[in-house]
Amino acid sequence: MVEDSVFPEDTGTGAPYGDFDDAANWASHAYNEDYGNYVIEGINLQPDYANNFLETTAGKARISDESATATRAEVERPFGVTYDVIIGGRSDGTQTNTDDLTLDADSVNDVWLAIDLEHGDRPYIVVSSVSGDEPTDPHIKIGEVDTTNEVVDQEFNRTGGISRDELVAYNIVML
C-alpha cells in the first residue's frame, strides 16, 4: 500500500514537523511525465569518422526513472522521479571509465545518455550499434551516428514538455 504524503511540509507551512530534505523526495517532487527525458541544452555529437570515435559537448538534460527510495524515511517512490543531469564534454582525453564512445564502422550507432545511481554524480555516454541495446541505468537516447554515410541525427529527446501547438483550451470566458 502506498503511504499518504505531502511534500514539502514543515513548521513553516504549518505542519508540526518537517519532511526529509533528501534526494528521493526532491526527485519525486520534480517528476512530471511531460517534463522529463530530454536534453535541455548542449550534448552535441561530434563524430571522428577516421578513428571511429564520438566526442560530445557539455550540456544539461533531465532523465526520469520509475522509482527511488528515501533511505532515511524508507519510503518507496513508485510514481516516478526525475533527475537533472549536467555532463561535461567528452573526448578521447576526457572520457570516464563508464563512457563507451567507440563507434562501430559501417553501422548506425545509437547514442545514449545515462546516469549511474550506484555512484554519485556519474552521468555517462554510451554508443551501441545494436538497435534496442540500451543501458540498464536510467537513460535517454540522444542521437544516432551513421558511420557508413557519415550522418549525425540529434533529433532524439531534444525538446521537453508540450509545445504551444499542442495546447487546447476549453471554456474560455472573456471579461
Q: pLDDT digits over 81-123, tens only? A: 999 999 999 998 888 889 999 999 999 999 999 999 888 899 9
d(C-alpha 106, C-alpha 98), whole Å:
24
Q: What is the pLDDT of residue 130?
A: 76
Structural domain spans, the chain: 11-161
CA distances from 44 to 47, 56, 57, 91 (A): 10, 5, 5, 12
Per residue in 127-144, pLDDT (tens digit) is 998 766 899 999 999 999
pLDDT at 62 over 60: yes
Task: State the pLDDT at residue 70.
Answer: 75
Say how far apart CA 95 and CA 102 lie, in whole Å: 11
Cis link prior to 123 (omega < 30° from 0)? no
The pLDDT value recorded for residue 138 is 94
The reported pTM is: 0.83
- pLDDT above 70 coverage of the chain, percent: 90
8-12, 17-21, 75-79, 165-169, range with the lowest pLDDT: 165-169
Positive or negative: CA dihedral 71, 136, 140, 60:
positive
Q: What confidence tier does 160 reach under pLDDT thresholds 50, 70, 90?
A: low
Q: How confident is the model at residue 113, as a pLDDT?
A: 97
